[in-house]
Copies of this chain bind each other. A is one copy, B any other.
Amino acid sequence: MQRWNGWGDDAVYMDLSPQALKLLCELIGEGRVCPDYPLEKFLENMPEARLSKHPLISFDAKLRLDHAHGQSMADWIGLRGGTLKRFPDGVSVPETVEEIHELLRFAAEQNAVVIPYGGGTSVVGHLEVPQTERPVLCLSLERYNRLISIDIRSRLAVFEAGIRGPRLEQQLNSKGFTLGHYPQSFEYSSLGGWVVTRSSGQQSKHYGRIEQLFAGGELLSPQGPLKLPAHPASAAGPDLRQLLLGSEGRMGVLTKAVVHIAAVPEKDVVYGVFFPSWEEASQAVHAIAGTDIPFSMIRLSNPTETMTHLTLAGHEGQVALLKRYLRLRGIHEKEACMCLIGFTGSRRITSASRRAAFSIVRHHKGISLGKPMGNAWIKNRFYTAYLRNTLWDLGYAVDTLETAVNWDQVTPTMAAIEKSIHEAL
């Protein structure tokens, strides 16, 4: 079952090794464990619903709690500390576009605020119930989640927008296709959510960000429907799809989404590479990005993150062996930068790409450790989010910072962020 006050399924637990805990202690001090606010208290104190009854709307207290937040640090503090005080008055889980239409009509009649809800993984507060005298209706699309049609020739698929990552990929994979959109929240976030939040995935360099994958769709707004046809390209005026992308559900409910799909790739591989210093590493990555090499992903870690990764990986013996090997090859533990480089596509193109990328890696004194490290990353890529649960229990609050900067700002930005965090902790 999905955790009510944390990330993901409560059957999944990510263990933390004693060495990892020790490293954390050294880096940022001892954790401060706080007692969790109990579920029962939330349910007991649930305020009375300010909405009239409607056959499609539930006033169940647990449902209202579950739909009152996303997954930001602020949301977690509200849940774990019991400071979350505002809840939607009702929650509806429509299964047809007619039901969504009816709910919008009813909301207008009741002068209610409507909050469209996809996977509940937002970290930018758009699921937060506003401070208002008006009743608030949460409209969850989790059961509006079917594959409507697929056009193999045009490589387009039409989905009900509430479909979540795993189900979407399963449906496409069974026909030999993929969308290839893998944000960290993949397991819970929805297609509609990806579109309205301008989502990026881990292999978006290959498949395209959601802006490129989103070909069109249908929006149901309180003022009526808006159809955005899946034109392959148009130069006739501004692109209205771009207004929907990033709208965070504020323009209405995205009900249907047409997306560009691709054949399941022959190869989907990630290599682990180590560089002797941040300078060499960042130069290598800059150089690869400046070529035409069609890599699908590059993730570069600085020395602190590299050490953290290795310690978290937990296999003490293997890690010691790795460190010794790196030293022999002239890469010192304290300066080592780990880099994951992915290639996705046909055998022919991915191997030409790998050869081209690795010749740049070698030029910058990097060494490849082959695929095992990449395979481990692929295996765990959606599980690292579960570490938030483990660490919270140990008294550490985890948050993610994401940003995009131009190349000239990469190293200065990294240094500034590290400095601020160090000083704050």
Which residues from chain A sit less than 8 Å from chain B, CB to CB? 124, 151, 153-156, 197-200, 206, 209, 211, 230-239, 242-248, 262-263, 265, 286, 290-294, 344-346, 348-353, 355-356, 404-409
Contacts and interface: CB of A to CB of B under 8 A. Distances in A.
Contacts of A290: 155, 262-263
Protomer copies = 2
Contacts of A346: 291-293, 356
B242 A239 contact: yes
Q: Give me the 10 closest cross-chain CB pairs, A-B, nearest first.
A: A292-B345, A352-B352, A242-B242, A154-B406, A198-B235, A233-B404, A154-B407, A153-B408, A232-B404, A238-B246
A19 to B, nearest CB: 35
A274 B360 CA distance: 37
Given A291-B345, A345-B292, A349-B352, A155 B242 contact: no
A155 to B, nearest CB: 6
Given A233-B200, A294-B294, A349-B293, A408 B151 contact: yes
B151 A406 contact: yes
A235 to B, nearest CB: 4
B230 A238 contact: no
Contacts of A286: 153
22 contacts: A154-B406, A154-B408, A155-B290, A198-B234, A200-B233, A209-B233, A232-B404, A232-B405, A237-B246, A238-B242, A238-B243, A238-B245, A238-B247, A239-B242, A262-B290, A263-B290, A263-B291, A292-B346, A348-B352, A348-B355, A349-B349, A349-B356
Contacts of A198: 234-235, 239
Contact of A239 (B246, B294, B351, B408): B246
- Interface of A, helix, strand, loop or mixed by DSSP: loop
B232 A200 contact: no
Nearest to A245: B238
A408 B356 CA distance: 36
A107 B240 CA distance: 30
Given A230-B406, A232-B405, A292-B345, 8 more contacts: A151-B406, A154-B408, A156-B406, A199-B235, A200-B235, A211-B239, A239-B245, A265-B292
A199 B235 CA distance: 7
A263 B236 CA distance: 31
A235 B184 CA distance: 15
Contacts of A356: 346, 348-349
Contacts of A352: 348-349, 351-353
A232 B205 CA distance: 13
A232 B408 CA distance: 11
Contacts of A235: 197-200, 246
A384 B348 CA distance: 36
Contact of A234 (B242, B345, B348, B404): B404
A351 B349 CA distance: 10
Nearest to A251: B238
Contacts of A404: 231-234
Nearest to A209: B233
A407 B286 CA distance: 36
Nearest to A260: B406
Given A292-B346, A349-B353, A237 B233 contact: no
Contacts of A154: 406-409
A284 to B, nearest CB: 14
A206 B292 contact: yes
A349 B246 contact: no
Contacts of A294: 292, 294, 349
A289 to B, nearest CB: 9
